[in-house]
Each structure stands twice: as C-alpha cells, then as structure tokens.
Structure 1
Amino acid sequence: MMVHTPAPWIIWYIWKARNDKAFNGKDTSPLETLQLAQSEAETWRLAQIVDKPHDDDDAAETSPPDAVPPPHGPVCSIDASWHKDDHLFGGGMVLKTEDGVTTYGSFSSNRVLNPLHAEFQTLMWAMKSSIQLDHIAMTFETDCLQLVHLIEED
C-alpha cells in the first residue's frame, strides 16, 4: 500500500507562491497556498487510480508497446521556474530513495535564455546533487517533454 502525503505538493506550492511574490509582486495567502496544494495532491492521487480490466479468458494481459516500466532505485523529480523579464531563474528537486527517504532541494541562479535552458540547468544541478549524496544510479523525472526529447534523440 502506497502512502500519499501532500507534503511535496505543499512545498512546491510554497515555492511557486514565493516566486510569484518575488518575481511578479503577487501576494498569495498561506491558506490559499495550502488549499491549492492539498487540492492538487488529491487530484493527483485520484488520477493515479487505475481500474483493472475485467478478466477475459480470451484476452491475454499485455501492456501497451510504449509503456515505461516503473523505475528501480532512487527517483529524482525536477522542475524549473523561468520568466522572460526576470533576472533570476529557479529550480527544484524531490529525491526519493527506495527506503523511503525523501530529500528536497532548490536553487536560484542568473537568468538563462529560455525555459528549456532553465530545465536543463536544473537537471544538471540535480545530477550533481545526487552524486554529492552518494547516489551512483538515479532515475530523473521532468514535466519538460522538450528536454526529454532532446536527451533521448540528440
């Protein structure tokens, strides 16, 4: 049984609210931030529920050809925050090990040319950080499909 905790979502939405305040001058109340994070965590939890198909004696159970097997070992999820008018960009990671230990990290740095560069810099930072934490193998996750394509194809 997997335990679903909203903690990573709360941390992420605090980070986003901080960026909105620092870079856009937008104030978000702590209660609004917490409610949004909890709502997103619950939506994500519900989206992960997969209905099992009814057993059919004639149909063999197969996975789609493009299905990715679940990662083995530690997993590091990354994301970046970039805006064309800002002098800085930020990045963050959530690193989960097989034994349940979770490590969070974030950084900011001088502005880069575009969001793809920010995502790439965040990936490089997360890779260096995972090595410093003595992980020799790691699965990295990102929501930046363009970065995934760049790494896989080029």
Structure 2
Amino acid sequence: MEGSIFDQERRQAIPWILWTIWKNRNNLLYAETQESPSLLVQRTLEEASLWNELNKAESIGGQLQADMGISKQWIPPAQGMIKCNIHASWRSDKQVIGAAWITRNHRGDVCMHARDALVPTPDKLAAEMECLLWVLRGLRDLRMEEVSIGTESQKLIDAVKNPARWPRYRCLLRQIEAVCLEFVVIEFEVESQESNKVVRKISTSVLRDGRLRSYLAMGGPAWLHNLIQTEVIG
C-alpha cells in the first residue's frame, strides 16, 4: 500500500482486488462461472476510484461543515411551512430500526409526532433512508404540502440531492425521489444533536423500551413536554 513504484490509483484499489479475487474464486468453485480477468480488474478499479472520490468529498464537506458550525438551537421554519425533525436509531443489521418524527410550525407549536419500528437494514445510512421514506409517506398522507426536513445526517441529505453518487442505494433513493415530487415544497437541513433532542429521544425509546407498535398522535409526547419547550425557547 505504501510502495511508491505503483501509482496511487492501483495502491488504493488493493482491498477491492483482494475482495474480487475471493468472490471470483467462490463463483468458480460453487457456481462454475468465470468472468474475464480484464473486466474484473476494470470494474474493481472503477469501484475503488468511486469509493475514494466519495470519501474525499465527504471529508472535505465534513470539515467545511465543522468550520461553519451547525446551530445548537432549534430553528423554526418560515411562516406557512412545517418543520419535521426526524431520527433513525440503528444498532445493528439484525435489529429493527427505531424511527420517529415530530412536526412544528413557525411558532414552535407541535402539530404531530410519530414513532415506529422498521425492518432491519445492513447499515446506518440505509436505516436513515428507510426512516426518511417512512416519514415522507406519512407527511404526504397527512396532506402536508410544504415541509422542511431536519436531520442530523449530512450523508442522507447528500445522497438525496446526488443519488447518482450513491449507486448502492439506488432503489431506496428512487422511491424517496418519487415521493418528494408529490410535495409542493420540500427542503432539507442539517440539525445538531442539541437541536434534534426531542425526536432523538422518541426514536431511541423504540428500541430501549420495546415500543414496537406504530404510533401517531396530535401534539408532542407528554413525557418530553419540558424538553420541547426548552428546545423551542433555546
């Protein structure tokens, strides 16, 4: 990996080459199929290049985000808009996802909140996409047409805005895009943990307290009343 006699692109692709060799071995032994080695190498170099470019962009974006800072105070939406804070609590690919959302108007008044247990996903980003899809469908069915989505996940927002750069999640992103088109206005903004505490606590309670039944209610949860007021007042 450190050998300078090889160009950087090939050195960075070594993990992908090893993984491709392993998969090709299994295909040969168990499925009796064999692809062209040149095609395998070409595909491997492309995947490695894409992965490194995405992570380079995320690193730069993360640094800019850290430099600019994210507000630690909950910021209300513009008048006429509804702000929906969301969170997905993911622990492993074998456990359900704790999902929750809460909507508020420009005065900070809570409109509705919901929680649910979603099917397990292979990673946290997929869990966040499943959560977003569940949220968007719920808001659409409730006839909310102008919405701002607040999430702690910059990766999720990047994936929604640039789906072509996230081919692994193509199916989920296409579904999200289709639902987004049904809104008159749909916006996304990054929240800090401090400004997303209420919905974070609701989603965490799904797994912690075994609240696995789907739940939708007017207003906010009574057990978080004080926190909701604190979050709005700042």
Report the TM-score when normalising by structure 2: 0.35
Unaligned segments of structure 2, at least 5 residues: 1-71, 164-234
Once structures 1 and 2 are overlaid, which stretch shifts more, 140-149 or 97-106? 97-106
Alignment correspondent of 2:154: 145
State the identity as a percent.
22
Alignment correspondent of 1:125: 134
What is the alpha-carbon distance in structure 2 between the residues aligned to residue 150 and residue 90 of structure 1? 21
Alpha carbons of structure 1 residues 85 and 147: separation in structure 2 relative to 1, 3 Å: closer
What is the alpha-carbon distance in structure 2 between the residues aligned to residue 120 and residue 86 of structure 1? 17
Unaligned segments of structure 1, at least 5 residues: 1-46, 49-68
Alignment correspondent of 2:68: none
Alignment correspondent of 1:51: none
Kept in 1: contact 2:77–2:106 (CA 8 A): no
What is the alpha-carbon distance in structure 2 between the residues aligned to residue 81 and residue 101 of structure 1? 22
1:109 maps to which of 100, 113, 118: 118
What is the alpha-carbon distance in structure 2 between the residues aligned to residue 132 and residue 106 of structure 1? 16
Which has the larger share of helix? 2
Alpha carbons of structure 1 residues 153 and 123: separation in structure 2 relative to 1, 3 Å: same
Report the Cα offset of residue 101 of structure 1: 3.6
Alignment correspondent of 2:89: 81
The 5-angstrom pairing of residues 24-103 of structure 1 reads 47-48=72-73, 71-72=77-78, 73-84=81-92, 86-98=94-106, 100-103=109-112
What is the alpha-carbon distance in structure 2 between the residues aligned to residue 130 and residue 85 of structure 1? 27
Alpha carbons of structure 1 residues 113 and 95: separation in structure 2 relative to 1, 3 Å: same
Kept in 1: contact 2:102–2:110 (CA 8 A): no
Alpha carbons of structure 1 residues 103 and 115: separation in structure 2 relative to 1, 3 Å: same
SS class of match (1:113): coil
SS class of match (2:84): strand
Segments of 4+ moved more than 4 angstroms: none
Amino acid paired to 1:111: P
Which deviations, in whole Å up to 9, do the C-alpha atoms of 1:63-99 show, x marking residues without a partner?
xxxxxx9732000010101112643111110111346
Kept in 1: contact 2:76–2:83 (CA 8 A): no
Alignment correspondent of 2:207: none
Report the TM-score when normalising by structure 1: 0.51
What is the alpha-carbon distance in structure 2 between the residues aligned to residue 94 and residue 122 of structure 1? 13
Alpha carbons of structure 1 residues 85 and 101: separation in structure 2 relative to 1, 3 Å: closer
